[in-house]
Amino acid sequence: MSGHGDDELAGQGLVAERYRPVRLLGRGGMGVVYEAEDTLLGRRVAVKLLTAVEGLSEDNETLSRFRREARALARIDHPGVVTLYDSGVHEGTPYLVMQVLDGMSLADLVAATGPLAPAAVCSVALGVAAALAAAHEAGVLHRDVKPSNVGIGRDGRVVLQDFGLARLAGESVITRTGVLIGTPQFIAPETIRGVLPGPTADLYGLGACMYLMITGELPFGETMDVGAVVERALGVGVPRLSGRELPYPADLRQLVDLLCAQDPGDRPALASTQSRLEHLAGDGTDTLAGLVALHIRADAVHTALAPRPSVIEAPEYDWAEARPGPPPEAAQPGPFRPPTLSDATRRIVLSSMTPQNALSRQREAVNLVLRGELREAAQMLSVIVPVCLSSLGLAHPTTLTSQYWQAVCLARLGAGGEALELFSRVNKHVGRRTDGTDD
């Protein structure tokens, strides 16, 4: 699977003859992550292709290492660690199959809200620390603790993902390919220097995440210059929070400073970190759940009620117009940046959508609604409905049913007024069909 570009994957079909990619979730130095359908068990999964080390053969030592490390990951049994379902090699490229999280990443949450309340900061940090404790006990280091790897569910639960990719791939391969494992904004200084990281390197990443949650800023500023970030990380280090006028307990600010210490020996132990956070967390889980629910609802409302192009005037759906913008001001506490669909996803959907498979996709979305996975249902319906409007028409039963379930999804997300508006749209067209006034 050389390159694994979006077009290639669209034409490739199933991964490992089992997993059908649905949409792009993310891309980084180590590989690419897709939401996929497990065609054997009929469930949604995340498939990560480690494209940085593609081209493995059965007698490759890296492949043996990958299998050993995947087994180690699978032994981690903790609610704060993303579940690994399967692993293997597809056409020379290692892959991992994991659970899909219904919520948003810490990176997206801070981008949407700015700095978090003290209790929320401590709840996220405590969740990450608990996940790290379970992993370290199993002999697995994370090596890339950063906000995009911290998921927050609709119930406020914190889940850490993307464990141990450096070990999975093998350090020697990473060195040869020139891939830096970790994000310089959050990677420990000793790791940047080439020292084999220990457990305290993960604690540094936790501290840097806490810095972001408290300040709303990256530790080394908004710059794309990796060299400048590395220079600051190895030089002045993460700016200290102690002594600054911030609405956060002094103990919390001091803990962040200690976790971000340049010398690994100066960082507190994981058990000590957990103990200090437990005293400060309070009702942070409820706060997190409320924030996630607010932004999932705002995104769902926007995508469901955005103006649709005329089917007559635009026989092919204008994806540029449909790209989500900011939600209504009333539901927007900060600079909300909703996710957009990848071009590959649009092409996959548009090139393959027929009345028959539109109905199949609709059923998948309905199952998501019924299981309570509302954000994913809303995202799937935001693709299905425009395609149905364009290719099937306003009054087609599949179009109307998809819009009906969009309304159900909005209602369950707490957007009652917007749900009623969408229900009324559907009922208007249903009335026309039953009255014989609409073809």
Catalytic residues: 144
DSSP states of 36-51: EEETTTTEEEEEEE-G
Amino acid 178 reads: G
How far apart CA 123 and CA 144 sit, in angstroms, is: 20
Tell me phi and psi for residue 43, to 5 degrees.
-135, 160
Residue ranges of the annotated binding site for ATP are: 48
Q: What are the CB-based long-range contacts (under 8 Å, 24+) for 309-315?
A: 309/389, 309/390, 311/389, 311/390, 311/393, 311/394, 314/390, 315/390
Q: Are 197 and 190 in contact (CB under 8 A)?
A: yes
Amino acid 43 reads: R
How far apart CA 170 and CA 74 sit, in angstroms, is: 18
How far apart CA 148 and CA 137 sit, in angstroms, is: 23
In this structure, the number of other CB atoms found within 10 A of the CB of residue 1 comes to 17
DSSP symbol at 235? T
DSSP states of 151-214: EEETTS-EEE--TTHHHHH-HHHHHHHTPPPS-TTTS-HHHHTTPPP-HHHHHHHHHHHHHHHH
Q: At what angle do helices 106-113 and 199-215 cross, to 10 degrees?
A: 20
Alpha carbon distance, N-terminus to C-terminus of the chain? 46
How far apart CA 336 and CA 152 sit, in angstroms, is: 16
Residue ranges of the annotated binding site are: 48
How far apart CA 371 and CA 365 sit, in angstroms, is: 10
Tell me phi and psi for residue 153, to 5 degrees.
-80, 170
